[in-house]
Structure 1
Amino acid sequence: MTYIDARELAGRYVALWNEPDAELRRSAIKELWAEDGGQILQPPQEIREIAAGLGFDSTTLEAHGHDELEVRVTRSYEEFVAPGEFVFQPVDNAIRLRDVVKFNWEMVPAGGGAAVGGGLEVLVLDGNGRIATDYMFPGA
């Protein structure tokens, strides 16, 4: 596998979610994820409860391929970053074990201050160092 610096990868990954330019977001997705790569998200408890109430037993949300990932990242950007209230930042704890990179991230007020949210990211890389599967655990 290509040499991958875990902290650098975490920084690029988190920067993507703050990127205001749609073309740069699209380009970053293609650089970070394998073409058939995906994200599997453990949704917050309230979403899992709503899904269960509707008869769904799935406790994950998934996006696969560059097009779906672009929709996912764009919607997150529009909801959390574009209004100017929050930005995402990596926690300086990224580590790599073979083809897995693990790190935490935080959502902080755009003007500074304590984190108001965050989560754990576990990235499984392919042989080219691109994300094959992205496991996201908000709130972890």
Structure 2
Amino acid sequence: MSDVQQRVERYLAIWNETDPAARRAAIDELWAENPVYLDPLGVAEGRDAIDAFVGAVQQQFPDFVFRPAGAVDAHHNVARFTWELGPEGGEAVAVGFDVAVFTDDGRFDRVHGFLDKVPA
């Protein structure tokens, strides 16, 4: 999984993509056929649900961006990484830790999200 860092960067870019058509194209490219995303705030099963989940987060936090917070750690078909959400160049209002499981062809199959810091 030599390109896992790049895959995670592209994954985070989906969360920042505000053009619905471009976001959906990226989801269709990076995610498996029947993916699942889950975190303490909800579960999204399938690409449509993941797209809707990302859109809802963008509505809740307009003008904020997701960015990596540290290196990606990976082995076999699993990766873990920390991310931050906040204004561009500003302090993070949310910090999370995701564990991604990839298909054999390298697409995201499951992402388990954990929230370490959430806004009040």
TM-score by structure 1 length? 0.77
My pick for the range that moved more, 89-98 or 15-24, is 89-98
Paired residues, number: 117
Is the Cα contact below 8 Å between 1:38 and 1:132 reproduced in 2? yes
Residue in structure 2 matched with residue 6 of structure 1 by the alignment: 4
Paired amino acid for 1:76? V
Is the Cα contact below 8 Å between 1:4 and 1:129 reproduced in 2? no
> Equivalent residues in 2 for 1:19-58 (5 A)?
19-43=17-41
Paired amino acid for 1:30? D
1:128 is paired with a residue of what secondary structure? coil
Note if 1:72 corresponds to 2:53: yes
Note if 1:105 corresponds to 2:86: no
Residue in structure 2 matched with residue 92 of structure 1 by the alignment: 70
Deviation per CA, 1:26-66, whole angstroms, max 9, x where unpaired?
Answer: 011111110101101123xxxxxxxxxxxxxxxxx211111
TM-score by structure 2 length? 0.89
Task: Give the Å deviation of 1:104.
Answer: 0.4
- Structure richer in helix, relative to its length: 1
Gaps spanning 5+ residues in structure 1: where? Answer: 44-60
Note if 1:120 corresponds to 2:97: yes
Query: Which of structures 1 and 2 has the bigger CA Rg?
Result: 1
Greater relative contact order (Cα < 8 A, sep 6+):
1
Paired amino acid for 2:45? H
Deviation per CA, 1:48-94, whole angstroms, max 9, x where unpaired?
Answer: xxxxxxxxxxxxx21111111111111112221xx32x211012311
Q: Which consecutive segments of 4 or more residues in structure 1 shift more than 3 A?
A: none
Task: Give the Å deviation of 1:109.
Answer: 1.6
Paired amino acid for 1:116? V
Paired amino acid for 2:24? R
